[in-house]
């Protein structure tokens, strides 16, 4: 039975993936926390998705079709506008949740001393070949979000991930600090960096350490986040240098942007990235070593090494 005042609104943006979104919706509706609503934002006209969602018989499901395509950030903002719950949880249409996720996150949010906590959790990154438990570590006390997300801490690791389908926070925070639609890519990173710098927020993780979500990363399915565009990432971090520490700035350029450039086969990126990292960032020794490895060691060998180390770590 639908509550007149849901505690949590689940927002699922989707476009042209009817079978995937049904799987995501069902995982949301199977939550042990029942006082929820599930708002699916269909990002532009999409008859097949609307028809598939029409087969789901649950009064807690609300489907909103946008008149035009806005992209993930705009669709999430539209979901916030339609939400009734005090708390918001995002779920990408190709991901799933374990049943206790919302219950555990709501409990932690209600215990927080700050007005607008951002609650995340451990999750499984699932591909055709392996399941990997992430993140490898939680933020240290007082650690800034940009350092947690970008700063290199090891040769084959460092820079953690708060995946969008693990984010749980207050509707008020999302109204005051919405996703920026003009970002196009990195909209989740962009939001986390901006929101985490507010005085009334804190990022916390459910302490069980058990995964509460599954992030599906099939190799054959291209998404906005899976497409590599080193120049976009380069420009984005330049525009948002004020949101990150100088060490995080250098790490993002020398490792993240460099890896994207190599995957694109664009070796002309070498000097622009290196110059920008030293001009406006503070590279660490690990950043320099990893940067050299990215550009000098064949990509196939690096991938095999990282895969072996990741498997051993998990």
Q: Split the chain (314 residues) into runs of 10 and give each run's mean pLDDT.
A: 78 96 98 98 97 97 97 97 98 98 98 96 94 93 95 74 97 97 86 97 93 86 62 96 98 96 95 98 95 86 58 54
Among 216, 243, 260, the domain-final residue is 216
Range of the domain at 136: 8-216
Tokens representing 235? 């420009």
Among 192, 216, 240, the domain-final residue is 216
Count CB neighbours of 293 within 10 A.
Answer: 16
Query: Do the beta carbons of residue 70 and residue 78 sit within 8 Å?
Result: yes
52/180 same-domain check: yes
Does residue 100 form part of some domain? yes
Query: Do the beta carbons of residue 103 and residue 31 sit within 8 Å?
Result: yes
Does residue 49 form part of some domain? yes
24/96 same-domain check: yes
47/118 same-domain check: yes
* Cα-Cα-Cα-Cα dihedral sign, residues 126, 189, 140, 103: negative
Query: Do the beta carbons of residue 10 and residue 34 sit within 8 Å?
Result: no
- pLDDT score recorded for residue 208: 87
- pLDDT score recorded for residue 291: 95
Query: Do the beta carbons of residue 180 and residue 137 sit within 8 Å?
Result: no
Among 172, 188, 216, the domain-final residue is 216
- pLDDT score recorded for residue 2: 47
184/254 same-domain check: no
* Closest listed residue to residue 147, CA positions, set 303, 234, 66, 252: 252
Stated length of the chain:
314
Whose tokens are 């590279």? That residue is 283
32/155 same-domain check: yes
Residue 93 sits in a domain whose CATH number is 3.90.550.10
Query: Do the beta carbons of residue 206 and residue 213 sit within 8 Å?
Result: no
Tell me if the pTM is above 0.75.
Answer: yes
Does residue 221 form part of some domain? no
> How many separate domains does the chain show?
2
Does residue 59 form part of some domain? yes
- pLDDT score recorded for residue 209: 85
Count CB neighbours of 63 within 10 A.
Answer: 18
* Closest listed residue to residue 202, CA positions, set 134, 79, 120, 87: 120
21/73 same-domain check: yes
Read off the DSSP letter of residue 298.
-
């Amino acid at each position: 039975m639908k509550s007149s005042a849901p505690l949590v609104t689940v927002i699922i943006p989707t476009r042209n993936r009817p079978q995937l979104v049904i799987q995501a919706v069902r995982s949301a509706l199977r939550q042990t926390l029942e006082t929820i609503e599930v708002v699916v934002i269909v990002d532009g006209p999409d008859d097949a998705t609307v028809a598939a969602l029409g087969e789901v018989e649950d009064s807690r499901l609300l489907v909103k079709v946008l008149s035009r395509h806005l992209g993930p950030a705009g669709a999430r903002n539209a979901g916030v506008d339609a939400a009734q719950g005090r708390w918001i949880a995002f779920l990408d249409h190709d991901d799933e949740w374990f049943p206790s996720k919302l219950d555990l996150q709501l409990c932690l949010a209600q215990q927080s001393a700050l007005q607008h906590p951002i609650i995340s959790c451990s999750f499984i990154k699932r591909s055709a070949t392996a399941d990997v438990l992430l993140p490898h570590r939680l933020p240290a006390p007082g650690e800034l979000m940009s350092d947690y997300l970008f700063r290199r801490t090891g040769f084959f690791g460092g820079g953690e991930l708060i995946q969008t389908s693990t984010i749980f926070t207050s509707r008020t925070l999302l109204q005051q600090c919405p996703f920026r639609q003009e970002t196009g890519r990195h909209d989740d990173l962009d939001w986390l960096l901006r929101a985490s710098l507010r005085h009334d927020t804190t990022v916390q993780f459910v302490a069980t350490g058990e995964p509460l979500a599954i992030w599906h990363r099939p190799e054959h399915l291209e998404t906005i986040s899976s497409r590599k565009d080193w120049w976009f990432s380069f420009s984005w971090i330049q525009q948002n240098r004020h949101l990150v520490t100088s060490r995080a700035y250098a790490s993002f350029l020398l490792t993240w942007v460099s890896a994207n450039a190599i995957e694109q086969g664009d070796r002309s990126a070498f000097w622009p990235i290196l110059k920008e990292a030293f001009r406006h960032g503070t590279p660490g020794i690990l950043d320099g070593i990893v940067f050299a490895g990215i550009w000098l060691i064949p990509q196939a060998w690096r991938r095999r090494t990282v895969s072996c180390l990741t498997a051993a770590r998990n």
